[in-house]
Amino acid sequence: MRRRLDGGAQDAEVPALPAPEPAQPASLQLPADVEARSPEQILGLLLEAFPGRVALACSFQKEETVLLDMLFALEPKARVFAIDTHYLFPETYAYWHEVEKRYGTTIEVFEGPTPEQLAAAHGERVWEQKPDLYLAVAKVAPLVRALGELDAWITGIRRDQSPTRAGAPKLGWDDQHELWKANPLADWSDADCWAAIRERELPTNPLHDQGYDSIGDTHSTQPGAGRTGRWAGTGKVECGIHTVPAAEVADLVEEPS
């Protein structure tokens, strides 16, 4: 149902290769009033500037519930992708299918290694022994593949979710992944999200009703307010998707187990 995206003469001196050119931003005139624009206006701007080259990164939480509805109202054929770690909650997979049915879409899938592949390469329960390695392999590497064919991506980041997100702009150049990144709900609160969900009568991930404010993998997510339930007891507040530069992923992934 889902589309899956798989000693003698001295040697002659070899001239040094030229340094690679820095990535050039895809064409976009950033409006001076971008921070005053509504989420729908931010989405409309991206859809117009990058037709077929912009996508929503969907983790099936309340923020994406709102953004999905806004995005498909503007462009019924809009692109959405998800990262499947193979450790998502059953409720998340069920909601995933519900989203596809509701909007008549097929969410693009970028997968991490299967549990068997992960254990064979890095050992059992690697997320406990080397959480950064797990996140690089299961989340960040698939993200890099997803973003490779895009000029812009859309996320559900909000500034009040954690101190690491407090300075998130509504729209700006993403130096870590070298493309444009939009956070249309950056200045929204939790209450704003739920108000929009009620107003639009939208279905949500049922885990929210079980006390999960933030939802990730089964092995590292607990009920809790904000992001306190994510990687509880480890001091981690981010999974690397928004913090690890693409250039660092290969080194992390190739680290010996």
Proportion of the chain above pLDDT 70, given as a percent: 76
Active site residue 239: yes
pLDDT score at 220: 85
Mean local confidence (pLDDT), 186-196? 96
Proportion of the chain above pLDDT 90, given as a percent: 60
pLDDT score at 256: 38
Residue length of the chain:
257
Lowest mean pLDDT among 76-90, 172-186, 242-256: 242-256
Q: Is residue 10 situated within a structural domain? A: no
Domain count, the chain: 1
User: How far is it, in rounded angstroms, from Cα 253 to Cα 156?
Assistant: 26
Mean local confidence (pLDDT), 206-225? 85
* Amino acid at the residue 55: A
User: How far is it, in rounded angstroms, from Cα 65 to Cα 106?
Assistant: 16
User: How far is it, in rounded angstroms, from Cα 204 to Cα 223?
Assistant: 16
Mean of the per-residue pLDDT values of the chain: 83
pLDDT at residue 7 tops 50: no
DSSP state of 214: S
> Which one of the listed residues 43, 137, 239, 244 is annotated catalytic?
239
DSSP state of 139: I
Q: Is residue 53 situated within a structural domain? A: yes
Q: Is residue 231 situated within a structural domain? A: yes
- CATH number for the domain spanning 158: value is 3.40.50.620
Q: HEC profile for 100-129? A: HHHHCCCCEEEECCCHHHHHHHHCCCHHHH
Q: Is residue 22 situated within a structural domain? A: no
pLDDT score at 129: 83
User: How far is it, in rounded angstroms, from Cα 40 to Cα 112?
Assistant: 31
Q: Is residue 11 situated within a structural domain? A: no
* Parent domain of 49: 34-252
pLDDT at residue 253 tops 60: no
Q: Is residue 149 situated within a structural domain? A: yes
- Pairing mode of beta strands 171-174, 108-111: unpaired
Q: Is residue 257 situated within a structural domain? A: no
pLDDT at residue 17 tops 80: no
pLDDT at residue 37 tops 70: yes
Q: Is residue 4 situated within a structural domain? A: no
Read off the pTM: 0.81
